[in-house]
Structure 1
Amino acid sequence: MGHSRRSVQRQLGMTYRTVKQSADAATSEELFTGQWQNRPSVLNDYKPYLDDRWNEGCSTWKLWEEIMPLGYKGSYHRVRAYLHDKRIPPRPVTARPPSPRTVAGWILRRPDALTATEQLQLKAVRAHCSELDALTGHVRSFATLLTERRGERVPAWLDAVRRDDLPSLHTLAAGIDHDRDAVIAGLTLPWSSGVVEGHVNRIKMLKRQMFGRAGFALLRKRVLMS
């Protein structure tokens, strides 16, 4: 307060122009307006030429050599800095691909149990991978064999699996083919061994519970009384 601009200049060691600009500034933003702002670049006149030649596949060093005879007085680093952003194109925004577990869930579920979005996503996955497309068809055909009890279609299903390059599914087909008659009978005849398997599992459970605790006599009584 009470000091002249010349006095402030001498005390702060600043130029008179800087002191005057600071005193005349109405807002703090105006203090940042200096002689270097809004100054035209020496590269402005050559940018259209650089853009055209860059799109044609010309390198940065070659472009610098070409604009030098045209009157460019700047450095090579200025040209390289201008073309840096053009060298790395922006990465497109893409949706995250579904995980293998998610795709497996879509394949194993009933088609009518999938939502419209899940059906579209599975369709896109099948369109981009022929192996998954073939696998989906075989899995759903086998599900039809199980739910509708179509044992007579098992040989045709095995032949269709062998025609595709699906090693993991070939292992399953080999196991089914080894017991083909039993599989066909299980998917055709009305009888089931489920009751027998249930009793066998129950006996195994009792045996595990009494392991190392008692002999066969006590185990026999528990099986008969349970």
Structure 2
Amino acid sequence: MTYRTVKQLAPAAAPEELFTGQWQNRPSVLDDYKPYLDDRWREGCTNAWKLWEEIIPLGYKGSYQRVRAYLHDKRTSPQSVIARPPTPRAVAGWILRHLETLTETEQLQLKAIRTRCPELDALTRYVRSFATMLTGRQGERLPDWLDAVRQDDLPSLHKLAAGIDRDRDAVIAGLTLRWNSGVVEGHVNRIKMLKRQMFGRAGFQLLRKRVLLS
């Protein structure tokens, strides 16, 4: 045993504390369904068998014993046992994706988050409203969207609104007209890729030839 390990374990007051942190973060097939179990527990449903039956239609493939063990920990632990919160990256992905592409578990988790956090609930509404404008070419709705954003207490969106305002006409045109600069941006990205590939390996003439022939 190294000195570093001894120093780390020395403060433990009981043998059980030596194992703290070793297994808590291991992924489990139940992880995605723990928020649902937590909500039902708070609603007063503590029957493990009933809750196991409820999460099976949601896609749970694990055993009843795993559900029972999780609820047993909630009953006996001196501290409240709750599900590990989703990462910010996961929540951002749920907000940005179409609702129909989310699994039932993801929809339940996102609903729970929006219920507990009014700011994220408002942000989700604005993101999806903007996505509708973008995909449906509804640029005429942009001024009303900007006004609603300014009236809400979301500083990060205020900065976005200020940036859009500086090029409002161009943004409205981009959200309305069928023409876009996608083809041009594609060529620019291709040229940048060729430049990175040949950096320090060839001169301008060879780079020019590759750009013209690719």
Structure 2 length as normaliser, TM-score? Answer: 0.56
**Distance (Å, rounded) in 1 between the aligned partners of 2:83 and 2:196:** 51
Unaligned runs of 5+ in 1: 1-88
2:123 paired with 1:132: no
**Distance (Å, rounded) in 2 between the aligned partners of 1:101 and 1:92:** 25
2:142 paired with 1:154: yes
Structure with bigger RCO (C-alpha 8 Å, 6+ apart) = 2
**Distance (Å, rounded) in 2 between the aligned partners of 1:208 and 1:117:** 42
**Distance (Å, rounded) in 1 between the aligned partners of 2:84 and 2:110:** 14
2:106 paired with 1:118: yes
What residue in structure 2 maps to residue 193 of structure 1?
A: 181
The alpha carbon displacement at 1:116 in A equals: 2.8
**Distance (Å, rounded) in 2 between the aligned partners of 1:154 and 1:113:** 26
Alignment of 1:161-176 (within 5 A): 161-176=149-164
Q: Using a 3 Å threshold, how does the CA distance of structure 1 residues 104 and 206 change in structure 2: closer, same or farther?
A: closer
Q: Partner amino acid for 2:93?
A: G
Q: Using a 3 Å threshold, how does the CA distance of structure 1 residues 114 and 203 change in structure 2: closer, same or farther?
A: closer
For 1:187, what is the secondary structure of its paired residue?
helix
The alpha carbon displacement at 1:132 in A equals: 1.0
For 2:176, what is the secondary structure of its paired residue?
coil
Greater Rg by CA: 1
Q: Using a 3 Å threshold, how does the CA distance of structure 1 residues 94 and 149 change in structure 2: closer, same or farther?
A: same
The alpha carbon displacement at 1:121 in A equals: 2.4
What residue in structure 1 maps to residue 64 of structure 2?
A: none
Unaligned runs of 5+ in 2: 1-76
The alpha carbon displacement at 1:214 in A equals: 4.3
Q: Partner amino acid for 1:118?
A: E
What residue in structure 1 maps to residue 3 of structure 2?
A: none
How many matched pairs? 138
Q: Partner amino acid for 1:100?
A: P
- Give % identity: 79
The alpha carbon displacement at 1:215 in A equals: 4.0
The alpha carbon displacement at 1:97 in A equals: 3.0
